[in-house]
Amino acid sequence: MLGADLLDAPDAVLGAVAGVAALAHAARLALWRPWRTLRHPILWILHLSYAWIPVHLALRALAAGDFVLPALATHALTVGAIGGLTLGMMTRTARGHTGRPLRAGGMEIACYALVQLAAVVRVLVPLALPSLYFSATGLSALLWFLAFALFTAAYWPILTQARADGAPG
């Protein structure tokens, strides 16, 4: 994709490359067997967030043919993939580096759900109901903000106090 972008490839080429990349990433995700992580939110958030990458690429392929707005592809990547992966990794690393178990509780699950809902509202609602584009954008921004605000409120004490296990660091 980067090469096609840098070479300013024609839309037909860009669309084809994005389509193949979408299939490759979907196959890669399937090989990880993400359904096996459903009991472990701290893992499934990573798989669910990664799933937005093939969605992004598929939407990018469709956008190259003027079937969907390019912004939908961009937000699948930024809100769904990057937002979700960021929250998932921040909770995982913060818990590990502060001597806490690598388990997500209700607060983390709420953050994960909010950021994924933000992606669904931002990408899929305008796709299905274009007349709700601006309303969906505002609601998505609010959901995204709430996810990260909740994380900040919950993790500020964790990250500013001594490790839970008493170990140095």
Name which of 118, 141, 143, 123 is nearest 133 in CA terms. Answer: 123
* Residue 141 pLDDT class (50, 70, 90 cuts): very high
CA-CA-CA-CA torsion sign (29, 34, 109, 160): negative
Give the C-alpha separation, 92 to 103, whole Å.
Answer: 8
Give, in degrees to the nearest 5, the angle at Cα 36 between 31 and 40.
125
Residue 165 in any domain: the answer is no
Residue 52 lies in a domain: yes
Task: Look up the domain containing 25 and give its range.
Answer: 2-160
108 within some domain: yes
pLDDT value of residue 4: 84
* 72 assigned to some structural domain: yes
- What's the domain count of the chain? 1
Q: Confirm whether 166 is domain-assigned.
A: no
At 169, is the pLDDT very low, low, confident or very high (cuts 50, 70, 90)?
confident
Q: What is the pLDDT of residues 52-92, one digit of tens each?
A: 999 999 999 999 999 999 999 999 999 999 999 999 999 99
Task: Look at residue 167 and tell me if it is in a domain.
Answer: no
Confidence of residue 112 (pLDDT cuts 50, 70, 90): very high
Three-state SS string over 91-113 comes to HHHHHHHCCCCCCCCHHHHHHHH
Asked, for residue 169, whether it belongs to a domain, the answer is: no
168 assigned to some structural domain: no
